[in-house]
Every structure is written in C-alpha cells, then in structure tokens.
Amino acid sequence: MTNVLSLTLFICGTRFAAPVSAAAGSALPQPGKALPRRVRAVPITVALVRTVNGNVLFDTGLDAAHLADPVLREALFTDRGMVRPPVVNEADDLRAVLVAEGLQPGDIDLAVLSHLHLDRTGGLKHLPRAPILVGSAELDAARGERPATHGSAESIGTGPGVEGGDSAYLPADLDLPAARFERRSGDGEIDDGLMVLATPGVTAGHQSLIVTLPRGGPVILAGAALDRLADAGTGTPPAAARDPDAAAASVRRIATLSAVTGAGIVAGEDAAQMDTLAGRTLT
C-alpha cells in the first residue's frame, strides 16, 4: 500500500566539480595551483513527490539570487574554493519549476533534505509553511556542532573546507526559525510509501528517500550518495565524501536494498541518467 501518487524529477541548474576519478580530498586545486582542465557538470536535482496527504520536495536547489550579483557570486563560490560558479537559469529556479507544475511554494507540505549543502537548500526560504526534515548529524555539521540560537546565521558555522566539505554549508540559506527543522536519526517512514534511508558518509548526516510508486514500485532517490549510477554496482563512494568508508558502506546499502527489493535507483548527480529522467512524471 502506498500513499504516493507520482514522482517528478527536475534539473534546477548545474554545478561544477572535479572529475569523479579524482581522489577524495584532492578533488579541488589548492591555493596557487592551476584549475583542472576538465571539470564535471553535475545536475542540481529536485524531486517532487505528490501524495494523497500533500506535496513533498526532496531537496530544493540553489538560490539563483546568490548568482545574480557578481561580487556575491565571487564571494560565495569562487572564493570558497569551487571550480567555478554554478549556473541556474530563470526557468530552473525552484519557484519557476513549481509554477510550471501548477503549484506555488505555499503548496509544499514537507521538504526532505538529503543534506544541507547550498545546492540543496536554496529554496527553503521560499517555502512558507513546510517543515524541513533533515538528518540530526547533518544539522549539527552545518551548525559547526554548536547549538543554534533561534536559527541565527551567526550560530551556523561554515568550517574551513572546500566544495563537498564544510564551506558548502551556507548560513544565508539556513537562517530560518529553528522550529522549521525536524531532526531525523536513522531510517524512518514519513508516510505509506515514503521512507527516509540513512546514507551518511558523503556528509555527516546524508539521507536518501525511498518512494514507492503506485504502479512502478520502489525508487531510491540517492541524493549525493552516488556520483554516478554505475557506482552502485562497484561500491564506489563519492569523490568528495567526508568519510569515504561510511560513504562506501552507504553505497553498498543502497545497492543491496535495490537488489533485494527490486527498487530502481536515481543517482541525482549523474548527468546522463538525469537527462533521461528530468521532467518525467513517474507513477
């Protein structure tokens, strides 16, 4: 039995990373060193799950306003160690995507975040009434493991890392009332046919989402737990994983669950797979 009605996947922009063959921890150039000649275009993915009980978003994309001002763009992306600034076209903005689906931001009843990097959190401020379901360890990591003070930006640390690390947590996206964040530890059912799956490693509290479609059966939305769909078969963790061993265990967990249940896997950061799925509504 499932309360899920449909699943629609969107590409809400593109970010850029070092090739997946780069070793974890060395995926980006050090200060003073040349940029790699090749970079990987990574889709910024958002999923809309319609259920009998309301509309659920899995991740919310990147806030296009961060890219509009050249000075801000430089400070938020280039100066934070990223290969190059992301690209979010007007039609890729979360609000535009929702309007194209006949929805307004106020129609979203719940946001589930795979993790709290800035390419997942940009739309949170535009969702006026949706609780935000996030891994407890992830919220602690985004806050620098310091208790939040009314969700203030000052209480949320960014850390010294680079893309794929702590500096990808953006306080401006997380400066929300603390009550909007709902912590989740481990696995847990949200609704019939909708389940959070703990898949830490790429970040401290990463989580994936299992969506059971009424006709198509279960689908695992892997978030950033996989760089490519093929990595599920090889057990390869994401190149930028903060904890490669934990990330590899999460990849194996996703692959085993898929094999046992027959669930499909959506690797949201796999450009080739997303090109075939984006804009399609699955039932």
Question: Does residue 156 register a pLDDT over 80?
Answer: no
Q: Is the pLDDT reported for residue 133 higher than 70?
A: yes
3 state DSSP class of 133: strand
Q: Where does residue 87 rank: exposed (0-12), middle (13-18), buried (19+ CB within 10 A)?
A: middle
pLDDT at residue 166 above 80? no
Residue 78 or 214, more confident: 214
Please say whether the beta carbons of 75 and 49 come within 8 A: no
CATH number at residue 47: 3.60.15.10
Residue 138 lies in a domain: yes
Q: Which domain holds residue 169?
A: 4-21+35-282
Q: Which residue has the higher pLDDT, 118 or 151?
A: 118
Q: 3-class DSSP state for residue 258?
A: helix
User: The tokens of 86 are what?
Assistant: 């992301």
Above 90 in pLDDT, residue 270? yes
pLDDT band at 248 (very low <50, low <70, confident <90, very high): very high
Mean pLDDT to the nearest integer, 155-178: 61
- The mean per-residue pLDDT over the stretch 107-121 comes to 97
Mean pLDDT of 222-227: 98
Does residue 116 register a pLDDT over 90? yes
The verdict on residue 251 lying in a domain is: yes
pLDDT at position 37: 52
CA-to-CA distance for 150 and 282, rounded, in angstroms?
Answer: 39
76 lies in some domain? yes
Note whether residue 64 is domain-resident.
Answer: yes
**pLDDT at res. 73:** 86
pLDDT band at 167 (very low <50, low <70, confident <90, very high): confident
**CA separation for the pair 164, 93 (Å, rounded):** 22
Q: Are strands 108-112 and 54-58 parallel, antiparallel or unpaired?
A: parallel
Q: Is residue 72 part of a domain?
A: yes
String of b and e for 236-271 (b: at least 16 CB within 10 Å)? bbbbbbbbbebbbbbbebbbebbeeeebbbbbbbbe
Phi-psi region at 71: left, alpha or beta (left = phi > 0; alpha = psi -120 to 50) = alpha
**Residue 29 within a domain:** no
Taking 80 as the threshold, does the pLDDT of residue 164 lie above it? no
Q: Cα(119)–Cα(66) distance, rounded to whole angstroms?
A: 11
Q: Give me the pLDDT at residue 144, please.
A: 81
Task: Decide if 209 is inside a domain.
Answer: yes
Model confidence over 35-64: pLDDT tens digits?
445 788 999 999 999 999 999 999 999 999
pTM for the full model?
0.87
If one counts the domains in the chain, the total is: 1
Could you tell me if residue 61 is inside a domain?
yes
Would you say 143 and 157 are in contact if contact means Cβ atoms under 8 Å apart? yes
Nearest to 250 by CA among 272, 265, 270: 265
